[in-house]
Structure 1
Amino acid sequence: MDRKIFRLAIPNIISNITVPLIGLANIGIAGHLDSAKYIGAMSLGVTIFNMIYWNFSFLRMSTSGFTSQALGARNLTEATSVLLRSVIVSVSLGVLIILLQYPIGQFAFRFILSGEEIKGYVEAYFRICVWGAPAVLTMYAFNGWFLGMQNAKTPMFIAIFNNILNIGLNFTFVFGLGMDIEGIALGTLLSQIITLAVTVTVWSLKYGRLKKYLRYADLWNKVALRSFFKVNADVFVRTFLLTIVTGFFTFASSSMGDTLLAVNALLMEFFMLFSYFMDGFAYAGEALTGKFVGAGDRKNLKAMIRRLFFWGFLVNLVAVIAYSFFPGELISLLTDKAEVIRVAKSYTFWTVLIPITGFAAFLWDGVFIGATLSKEMRNTMIFASMMFFACYFIAVPLLGNNGLWLSFILYLGMRAFVQTVIARKRLKLI
């Protein structure tokens, strides 16, 4: 079982680690420009797109869950149909975002409480990157499908290609051509479009033979479509609340001044680094859970979950040690601003609590997605989000930025606790 987990987890860990490296590199590029305001602007710009794209991450999750279950049941016709359904929906939603970019942008900019200069940087970043929406959402569908087919290596190589290309283009535009935040945005956009073209080519070469299994009558099967959109609706609500919490965290930071905005942006990279690393195991659990559920193999499902949490705990332990003993070194990699580094060190205690309180939530997410337990994921997030905002409005007036971090840590802990309770009861029915 460990071999099956690591065969999927290691490629996903490698590809996932390269994702925050883009954020770290972009923050690092912004942190070495002539003003600390670029750090805050980058954080706000990325947060806006996170709030947009994360809401559509159901495209990856549902595609992975349905594909892995179809594979477990050895139904290649349905597995192929799942990809085409997801691609059609992804492209349609991406085009819709482009058409609605002005009202979306104006709505998001209203929540930025920093000065006009930072708002201007954020708007410039948004107006360029928004054109990559169809490519980004379509990549969600392909990545979910690859994972559902128990193939983690192809997404890994594609992710590495995308991230190296992104970082290379950003360095070229900013330091080679003298551009600032617009150069970062342009590099990001071009890498998204090029990577999608490469992905489609790779799929055609590796899986083109599956076209013979596609039945257009099955593509629009009412039962399959109803299940597809029901799960997507539940996961959308879950992900929408997740983006509300993380987005609110950043926008709330913008009301505390430019320095604390930059500090919280840097420290949240600790969370992103841990989450993408832990998601490598969650994705493995996602693919294997779907396969075992589709095959009706309850024995291996339970064995896999036990081993998944064993390895997840070890990853959690490594993160706790790194964040406890090397916070200053990690922060210094992201910025050379002495004041930002000094203030950030006083809040690193909270980053140590991130892996402790949250690692189980990441792993349960993978299991729930693979089993398409979308309703349970939705309800868990509703409860945890309510706890976050209740704590925020009580703690922040009393504790300031510490209260904001306390609210976030409570939110992570509640997700893990509720999911554990649900899993102990619900998974017995599988």
Structure 2
Amino acid sequence: MNQASAPPKNGRRRHDREIIALAVPAFGALVAEPLFVMVDSAVVGHLGTPQLAGLGIAAALLMTAVSIFVFLAYATTAAVARRVGAGDLPAAIRQGMDGIWLALLLGAAVVAAALPAAPWLVDVFGASDTAAPYAITYLRISVLGIPAMLVVLAATGVLRGLQDTRTPLYVAIGGFTANAILNVSLVYGAGLGIAGSAWGTVIAQAAMAAAYLFVVVRGARKHGASLRPDAAGIRASARAGVPLLIRTLSLRAVLMIATAVAARLGDVDIAAHQIILSLWSLTAFALDAIAIAGQAIIGRYLGAGDEKGAREACRRMVEWGIGCGIVLGALIVLARPLFIPLFTSDPSVKDALLPALLVVAVSQPIAGVVFVLDGVLMGAGDGRYLAWAMLVTLAVFAPVALLVPTLGGGLTALWWAMTLMMAVRLITLWVRTRSGRWIVTGATR
């Protein structure tokens, strides 16, 4: 951002309407995604503890694989939104198709690698002898749905770039409903056990991908965009995604280090850490919804050559991020007597949880700005800077977090280290937005 004066009141209202129209459906779609795993867990949990343990290991592997490729959505959103802003819908959809073809190629590669490696992957995660067979069964079946899930990510990016977050919400709700019905029917009705749960999820994922492809293909035919794979376009999509992949892997490394440190602190601390991490992830969904709106809006403004509009939208979204962060922080503090008993009744876990939870609450306004600026720079296609910024953040966070068991402070100190991580991200993102170097107008960056 720069030193320009704030936009007039009617300009803020216009930005508010855009943010709400995109962020609210995006939040619904984001929340619907983890419900897949919750439904599978609820259904499989009644089969027995070994089955549930096997599901937990396989689901962790699958979610990690999908999260690594989330750049398919982010990079596609920015590229498509730019072309929408430039008024070239056929090129926008063509760009989106390149991302979808890339998703299919990556999905096929994951399936080819994961099927034979399933026993080894389950063993690396430390599955017990009783849980391992169920984990392998679930993983080998569910991995067949990876291509569909990657297509869903890329197609979601296409629709977000087209300023449509309602369709992803409807598809997510439909997929969640189908998954729940199929799981119950196949696990108990057909007597397939944990394999039925995996097949139910694969079928639901395939149906979601088909729904997205129907919408995108219909749009392509309407605007005369080619559906054929284009090698140059696919390579360009892959190049745009590499920096965002580095960013995502660095962020995953931060979370893995934090969990490993918490485990070294003892059973009480790791239990409390997992509760806080679950809550932190939930608040991240709310803040990420604003970031998604930022990706679509900023990309469109820059594609249209509207530098002023991009700056004003960025400023307004930062205000939204701060406001939402304050509200979320207050909710964490006020609602803690209600939700803590839902997770644990152990007094020692509660004692470790409370002070660290207050640290999380205090850090929410920082997180709000970080998520927003992350989305703004993604929408601007500034992936290379985001990759370097996240690597710097990891380099600062890792030694501080790893010293926590030695220096003391327990879980509270670890979450202060997490707050430091968010503060470093804030500084790096703020410096970039203030510099204005992210503002590159035109249909391509």
Q: When the two structures are superposed, what TM-score results if normalisation uses the length of structure 1?
A: 0.84
Answer with 316-325 or 65-74: which moved more.
316-325
Aligned partners of 1:244 and 1:121: how far apart in 2? 28
In the TM superposition, residue 251 of structure 1 has moved relative to its aligned partner by 5.5
Are 1:263 and 1:340, in contact at CA under 8 Å, matched by a contact in 2?
no
What is the aligned-residue RMSD (CA, Å)? 3.5
**CA offsets, 1:42-82, max 9 Å, x none?**
66544323322222111111111110111111222321221
Partner of 1:210: 222
Are 2:20 and 1:6 equivalent residues in the alignment?
yes
Q: CA offsets, 1:282-321, max 9 Å, x none?
A: 1111111111111110111111111112222222122112
Is residue 2:157 matched to residue 1:144?
Answer: yes
Listed one character per residue, the Cα deviations across residues 230-272 of structure 1 (whole Å, up to 9, x for unaligned) are 3211111111222223344445656667765554333322122
Asked whether 1:373 is paired with 2:382, we answer yes
Q: Which moved more, 1:400-409 or 1:86-95?
A: 400-409
Q: Which residue of 420, 423, 426 maps to 2:433?
A: 423
CA distance in 1, matches of 2:167, 2:176: 14
Out of 153, 161, 165, the residue aligned to residue 178 of structure 2 is 165
- Whether the 8 Å CA contact 1:281–1:312 is kept in 2: the answer is yes
**Distance of aligned partners of 1:59 and 1:340 in 2 relative to their CA distance in 1, 3 Å threshold:** farther
Pair 1:83-2:109 in alignment: no
Of 233, 239, 242, 1:233 maps to 242
Q: 1:197 to 1:176 in 2, by over 3 A?
A: same
Q: Is the 8 A contact 1:68 1:294 kept in 2?
A: yes
In 1, are the aligned partners of 2:83 and 2:303 still within 8 Å (CA)?
yes
In the TM superposition, residue 155 of structure 1 has moved relative to its aligned partner by 1.0
Aligned residue for 1:194? 207
Match of 1:308 in 2: 317
Q: Are residues 293 and 138 of structure 1, via their aligned partners in 2, closer, same or farther at CA, if it must alter by over 3 Å?
A: same
Residue among 120, 123, 146 paired with 1:133: 146
Matching residue of 2:402: 393
Q: Which residue of structure 1 lines up, in the alignment, with residue 328 of structure 2?
A: 319
Between 1:373-382 and 1:104-113, the stretch displaced more is 104-113
Change (3 A) 1:391 1:41: farther
Structure 2: runs of 5+ lacking an equivalent: 1-14, 441-445
Amino acid at match of 1:142: A
What SS does structure 1 have at the residue aligned with 2:436?
helix
Provide the aligned length of Structure 1 versus Structure 2.
424
Return the TM-score normalized by structure 2: 0.82
**Is the Cα contact below 8 Å between 1:40 and 1:258 reproduced in 2?**
no
* CA deviation after TM superposition for structure 1 residue 119, in Å: 5.7
Mapped pair 1:65 → 2:74: no
2:72–2:99 Cα contact (<8 Å) kept: yes
Q: Secondary structure at the match of 2:98?
A: helix
How many Å separate the matches in 1 of 2:120 and 2:412?
28
Q: Which of 18, 32, 46 is equivalent to 1:18?
A: 32
Helix, strand or coil for the counterpart of 2:315? Answer: helix
Deviations 1:83-120 (A, max 9, x none): 22111111111111111115754665465367655666
Check conservation: 1:114, 1:257, Cα contact below 8 A.
Answer: no
Q: 1:307-364, CA deviations, whole angstroms, 9 ceiling, x for partnerless residues?
A: 112222222122112211223433444x577679747744533442452432222111
**CA spacing shift, 1:114–1:95, aligned 2, 3 Å:** closer
For the residues of structure 2 that align with 1:282 and 1:336, how far apart are their CA atoms? 32
CA distance in 2, matches of 1:143, 1:73: 20
Task: Quote the offset at 1:199 in angstroms.
Answer: 2.3
Distance 2:54 2:60 in 1: 10
